[in-house]
A and B are shown apart, each in its own frame.
Chain A
């Protein structure tokens, strides 16, 4: 019972942060700010879901910890892909827009 509540809590928390990351990706004004959305969703979003998974399967009688590996590899690879993306953007000279200046204008930074 208690574990079910905990599992639901962590699932909701992870899903909420993944959603917020997606909202950020869709609504932020330029490429550089958009990049912040997905890199962040992977940390707390996936992290919350994996903690829920650990609690759920451990509660079924068998100690389960291999989710730790998923978190570890995500934490190693997510910053690398973000770094490659932002380097590519700098190399291509993507426009850095001031937030106010681009309100109502969408699609720049692609």
Chain B
């Protein structure tokens, strides 16, 4: 109970301590102490307006998801570079609508961010009822394959992590 009062948002506290140490670029005892004080004080100030439902349910899936995204960024960067550098680029740009089934806000933001980060696609607009995401694609081969790919690679793990 005391621990809960001292650290109302343990995840945020940990992230703050990590960011402090990274900013200082050291793990010296003095900065560890200062970072710990900040990690205790700051969450107490903003605990009241911090969203409560933010919980990573499956850390393993999260790590695997991050690795997938990083790998996809590299692969897609290379393929976009190849398109741009070819003498006569053959582009089939266009919009398509991705049906979205995640409802958690954080998961939705992460899904849209992931789509924008992986080269070749940029998330453009979320429909008012949050069920469809308009995506612009640089070179659209087959809409259905792209949709299933995004759903399987990004949406499913995000759902497992946050819902």
Contacts and interface: CB of A to CB of B under 8 A. Distances in A.
Contacts of A96: 93-95
B55 interface: no
Given A35-B136, A64-B25, A79 B116 contact: yes
A64 B94 CA distance: 42
B91 interface: yes
Interface in B75-103: 77, 80-81, 84-85, 89-95
**Chain A residues touching B, majority SS:** helix
A20 interface: yes
Contacts of A43: 73, 77, 117, 119
B84 A27 contact: yes
A2 to B, nearest CB: 22
Interface in A68-110: 68-69, 75-76, 78-80, 82-83, 86-87, 90, 96, 99
How many A residues are at the interface, by size bracket? Answer: 35 or more
B157 interface: no
A9 interface: no
Contact of B91 (A44, A82, A99): A99
Contacts of B92: 99
B84 A20 contact: yes
Interface of A: 16-17, 20, 23-24, 27-30, 32-33, 35-37, 39-40, 43-44, 64-66, 68-69, 75-76, 78-80, 82-83, 86-87, 90, 96, 99
A43 B80 CA distance: 13
A33 B116 CA distance: 13
28 contacts: A16-B81, A20-B81, A20-B84, A20-B85, A24-B84, A35-B122, A35-B136, A36-B119, A36-B120, A37-B84, A39-B119, A40-B119, A43-B119, A44-B77, A66-B25, A69-B22, A78-B117, A79-B113, A79-B122, A79-B123, A82-B116, A82-B122, A83-B112, A83-B123, A86-B124, A90-B124, A96-B94, A99-B90
A22 B77 CA distance: 13
Given A20-B85, A87-B124, A96-B94, 8 more contacts: A24-B84, A43-B73, A66-B23, A75-B113, A76-B113, A79-B117, A83-B112, A83-B116
Nearest to B19: A69
B125 A87 contact: yes
A36 B122 CA distance: 7
